[in-house]
Amino acid sequence: MSADAWWKNGIVYQIYPRSFQDSDGDGIGDLQGIQRRLDYLVELGVDAVWISPIYPSPMADFGYDISDYCNVDPRFGTLEDFDSLAAECKARGLKLVLDFVPNHTSDRHPWFVQSRASRNNTKRDWYLWQDPAPGGGPPNNWLSNFGGPAWTFDEASGQYYCHSFLKEQPDLNWRSPEVRKAMYDVLRFWLRRGVDGFRVDVLYHLIKDVEFRDNPQNPSFQAGQDPSHQLLPLYTTDRPEMQDIIVEMRRVVDEFSDEASARVLIGELYLPLERLMAYYGRTSDGLLQGVQLPFNFQLITAPWHAAEIDRIVRNYEAALPHGAAPNWVLGNHDKPRIASRVGQERARLAAMLLLTLRGTPTLYYGDEIGLTDVPIPPDEVQDPFEKNEPGKGLGRDPQRTPMQWSGAHAAGFTDGTPWLRLGGDWSMRNVEAQQGDPASMLQLYKKLIALRRNEHALHEGSHEQLEAGADVLAYARSAGTRRLVVLLNFATSETPVAAELLPADTVVLASTHADRTGAVKGELVLQPLEGVIVAQ
């Protein structure tokens, strides 16, 4: 196997640490809890574990407001707990990926405390400070992604500081060489502790316009949308200078790659397709020098129709630079769960889609048992996004609820009271209940993951889109003489498959319907909302 096979051909599993497994009864998941569940992940068949932030934090944004980049928050454990987790992952052949949050710190980080101490402080230019506008008020019209202006006035120094998110999350100044050096040293700190890579939070936000110009109005903005979308982020995201930064960041990570294992950078990038492709980086000596996996979020927002997803796949494959590794994502901690977006039956189709497309799939914890968003009453809301914009449905608590392990107290997540309420179906929709049910979502995921691992055509083969009618998404995956065909019926009625699409002597290797296996005799008719993988 090549050194980069684990992230090119493997499966990444995202853990939101507050919600995966609590080990000490305080109702909040932790590192020891994750370690306790590693054997489950091995049995599931994933290759890498990505853990959302575990750093010390005042928790204004649940860990994305960091006060110390080189330690572990006591809620999650200690550095020794992290080292133990890293060692246990390595012992099981699991790769470990951490969240890296470079755009902003907590306002309680020592860097910002020094920066706001005075205009003459040596760390003043580590953050973005500006004088008020000539008539008073913020220096420009930039908006926070969490509501309101992106500027907060500091009475003591008479200037505003910039924050793309909460006022408790001041943005770092990535034009400062000292900031870059400090943040690259953070990467090295964790790489030396055995980390295999990083998912880089809001990577495209790092550089802002040097002239601090106003963002233009968004002509397509409509009432009721996320208020931050009323402006086009022309001067606050995806600036040209970002390309230099991703090259530098990649060089740091590559310092720790060797012949046995290449380290990886995964970029969080909510960008149009042509701009997303730019983050693979420039080519040097025939190799791309940017982020190896710029997250491809198109399936999260796609209308769930065969024709639309066919268009997305074709356009994405066509846009990839030479040598670029594709990737696909169905959900994450910021977006509604797939089973809530499309329903449980279609979520089974989505599982087959994710695990058979060309490229690295990322699973969000709990999707493998069909977890859905959990309505959170107003008096139990935790997410600051919802608190800042109440009643607009922008909160992310519903997709961050605890993992449902069993029918025991609190679904086996904690001996105490969970930090967020469980789904109403927890006593039946849990890992323990689905382990013994061959028709369960969990067993479907296990079967698909095992098939993907065993079939070269699925984990490293070529990809070819096929024409199969308006309601069926079809494509072939091939490696050598082995050719598999994936057929996904998006219709709620039976749909026959044209004989010319199928290999001779067709055998169904997997179906989203547990009762279909083996050789196909006569015409292949897909059941409503059924997906199949067939081969000769």
Domain residue limits, the chain:
5-105+177-448, 110-162, 462-535
**Among 54-63, 399-408, 513-522, where is mean pLDDT lowest?**
513-522
Catalytic residue selected from 201, 386, 397, 455: 201
> What pLDDT shows up at residue 59?
95
Reply yes or no on whether the pLDDT at 504 is more than 80.
no
Place 387 in a pLDDT band, splitting at 50, 70 and 90. Answer: confident
**pLDDT, position 226:** 86
CA distance 42 to 90: 12
The secondary element (H helix, E strand) that includes residue 82 is helix 79-91
pLDDT value of position 283: 84
Q: Average the pLDDT over 139-152 and give the result.
A: 96
Residues near 346 by Cβ (< 8 Å), separated by ≥ 6? 304, 490, 529
How far, CA to CA in Å, does 427 sit from each of 409, 431, 433, 454? 9, 10, 8, 33
Quick check: 536 pLDDT over 90?
A: no
Token pair 């944004």 in the structure block, residue: 61
Which of 40, 37, 43, 39 shows the shortest CA–CA distance to 17? 37
- pLDDT confidence of residue 521: 81
pLDDT digits (tens, 9 = 90+) for 250-295: 999 999 999 999 999 999 999 999 999 999 998 878 889 999 999 9
**Average pLDDT in the chain:** 96
Q: Which of 484, 531, 4, 532 is nearest to 266 (CA)?
A: 4
Our answer to whether residue 83 is catalytic in this structure is no
Regarding pTM above 0.95, the answer is yes
Architecture category of domain 5-105+177-448 in CATH: Alpha-Beta Barrel (3.20)
| CATH fold label, 110-162 | Oligo-1,6-glucosidase; domain 2 (3.90.400)
* SS3 category, 162: strand
Q: Is pLDDT larger for residue 282 or for residue 311?
A: 311
Instruction: Write a three-state SS string for 356-404.
Output: HCCCEEEEECCHHHCCCCCCCCHHHCCCHHHHHCCCCCCCCHHHCCCCC
pLDDT attached to residue 425: 96
Q: What is the pLDDT of residue 514?
A: 76
pLDDT of 120 reads 97
Grade residue 466 by pLDDT with cuts at 50, 70 and 90: very high
Task: Check whether 501 has a pLDDT greater than 90.
Answer: no
> Mean pLDDT over residues 43-54, rounded?
98
Whether 503 shows a pLDDT value over 80: the answer reads no
Q: Confirm if 162 and 127 have CB atoms less than 8 A apart.
A: yes
pLDDT score recorded for residue 282:
86
| pLDDT beyond 80 at 515 | no
Give the per-residue pLDDT at 519: 87
Q: Which two tokens stand for residue 396?
A: 């992310």
Checking if the pLDDT of 43 tops 90, the result is yes
Give the whole-angstrom CA distance, residue 394 versus residue 236.
21
pLDDT over threshold 80, residue 392: no
Do 525 and 489 contact (CB within 8 A), yes or no? no
* 260 neighbors 3 (Cβ within 8 angstroms): yes
Per-residue confidence (pLDDT) for residue 516, from 0 to 100: 83
The predicted pLDDT at position 286 comes to: 82
pLDDT tens digits along 72-107? 999 999 999 999 999 999 999 999 999 999 999 999
Report residue 308 as tokens. 């639309």
Name the CATH code of domain 462-535 (choices 3.30.460.80, 3.40.1350.10, 2.60.40.1180, 3.40.228.10).
2.60.40.1180
Please tell me the predicted confidence (pLDDT) of residue 10: 97
- Residue linked to tokens 């109005």: 217
Question: 255, 380, 494, 523: which one is catalytic?
Answer: 255
Instruction: Let me know if 201 is a catalytic residue.
Output: yes
Percent with pLDDT over 70 in the chain: 100
pLDDT at 315: 98
